[in-house]
Amino acid sequence: MLIPMVAFDIIFQIRSHLKKLRMTRQEIKDEFKQQEGDPQLKARIRQQQHEMSRRRMMADVPKADVIVTNPTHYAVALQYNDKMVAPKVLAKGAGAIALKIKEIGAEHRIPLLEAPPLARALYRHSEIGQAIPATLYAAVAEVLAWVYQLRRWKTEGGLKPKQPMNLPVPPALDFAGEDNRHG
């Protein structure tokens, strides 16, 4: 009779000890915060970094040679000079950010070209501060040629250059069906 009581007591003591070792829900949260950082603080830092990045991007818009739009959802600001290997994306945005890019462009008299397939392709397949994809070189070259002709027309006069139409955008890069999703 004594042996079963001792066995029961040992099991009870072990179980009681293990229960004491378990952490409460609050202790688990606190340990996670200590190891990984406070999720709210991390989210606030990410938000501030995103806002700073957006401000930097908007500050680069006045340096653009042209802004390509689709015209309602997307805007991509491009820059090119002879020291660059390829045209570079200075800014891109959808929705309200696209409107802001267009506003800044208008303030600085940057040519605006409505080319929906090209705008969508540039928005989806390019990164800010990077060269455009090689598959879009031909289309962007036509756009830049128009920009340079426009500059010459403004200084020398003559016939106003016509905006490029039907730019060569590979169908694989155009995502016309996703227009209303902003990215």
Q: Is residue 172 part of a domain?
A: yes
Q: Is residue 143 part of a domain?
A: yes
Three-class SS of the chain: CHHHHHHHHHHHHHHHHHHHHCCCHHHHHHHHHHHHCCHHHHHHHHHHHHHHHHHHHHHHHHHCCEEEECCCCEEEEEECCCCCCCCEEEEEEECHHHHHHHHHHHHCCCCEEECHHHHHHHHHHCCCCCECCHHHHHHHHHHHHHHHHHHHHHHHCCCCCCCCCCCCCCHHHCCHHHHHHCC
Q: Is residue 18 part of a domain?
A: no
Total tally of structural domains belonging to the chain: 1
Please report, in tens digits, the pLDDT of each residue of the chain (183 residues total): 778 888 888 888 888 877 777 777 777 777 777 777 667 777 787 888 777 777 777 778 888 989 998 877 899 999 888 888 889 999 988 888 888 889 988 899 999 998 888 888 899 888 888 888 888 888 888 899 888 988 888 888 777 888 888 777 777 766 664 444 444
Q: Is residue 19 part of a domain?
A: no
Task: Residue 135: give the domain boundaries.
Answer: 39-178
